[in-house]
């Protein structure tokens, strides 16, 4: 199963193409831009409470049969926040000082 490469930041809606070095994901593939993760979310996923990692880039070239961006394209379904921004801020403030591995 391939990682779902979501096309946008769920917080600010900036485009995050498959090769974006600014895309961050949580373990559930929630996707945000690096700026929102740092300044708005404080490394707290507003959906699950986990931390974020840099999203890997899917190879454009098919180095192995069937495995490439052309064969397994990025998602085109844009996502948005599941919670209001004020509730997200309170949630982040409550748990951001707990290291992600201990949440």
Q: What is the pLDDT of residues 17-44, one digit of tens each?
A: 999 999 999 999 999 999 999 999 999 9
User: pLDDT of 50-82, one tens digit each?
Assistant: 999 999 999 999 999 999 999 999 999 999 999
Asked, for residue 58, whether it belongs to a domain, the answer is yes
Q: Collapsing DSSP states into helix, strand and coil, what is residue 44?
A: coil
* pLDDT given at position 77: 96
Do the domain assignments include residue 43? Answer: yes
Pairing between strand 31-33 and 23-25? antiparallel
Q: Provide the pLDDT for residue 15.
A: 98
Residue 77, domain member (yes or no): yes
In a domain, 47, yes or no: yes
Query: What pTM did the predictor assign?
Result: 0.91
Instruction: Determine, yes or no, domain membership for 8.
Output: no
Instruction: Print the domain residue range for 90.
Output: 23-102
Q: Determine, yes or no, domain membership for 6.
A: no
| 15: helix, strand or coil | strand
Query: Number of folded domains in the chain?
Result: 1
Burial of 94 (0-12, 13-18, 19+ CB in 10 A): exposed
pLDDT at 84 over 90: yes
Please give the structure tokens belonging to residue 46. Answer: 């507003």
């Amino acid at each position: 199963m391939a990682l779902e490469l979501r096309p946008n930041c769920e917080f600010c809606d900036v485009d995050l193409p498959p090769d974006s070095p600014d895309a961050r994901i949580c373990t559930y593939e929630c996707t945000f831009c690096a700026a929102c993760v740092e300044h708005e979310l404080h490394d707290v996923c507003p959906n699950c409470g986990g931390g974020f990692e840099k999203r890997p880039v899917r190879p454009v070239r098919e180095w192995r049969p069937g495995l490439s961006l052309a064969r397994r394209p990025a998602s085109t379904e844009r996502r948005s926040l599941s919670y209001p921004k004020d509730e997200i801020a309170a949630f982040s403030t409550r748990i951001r000082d707990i290291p992600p591995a201990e949440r």
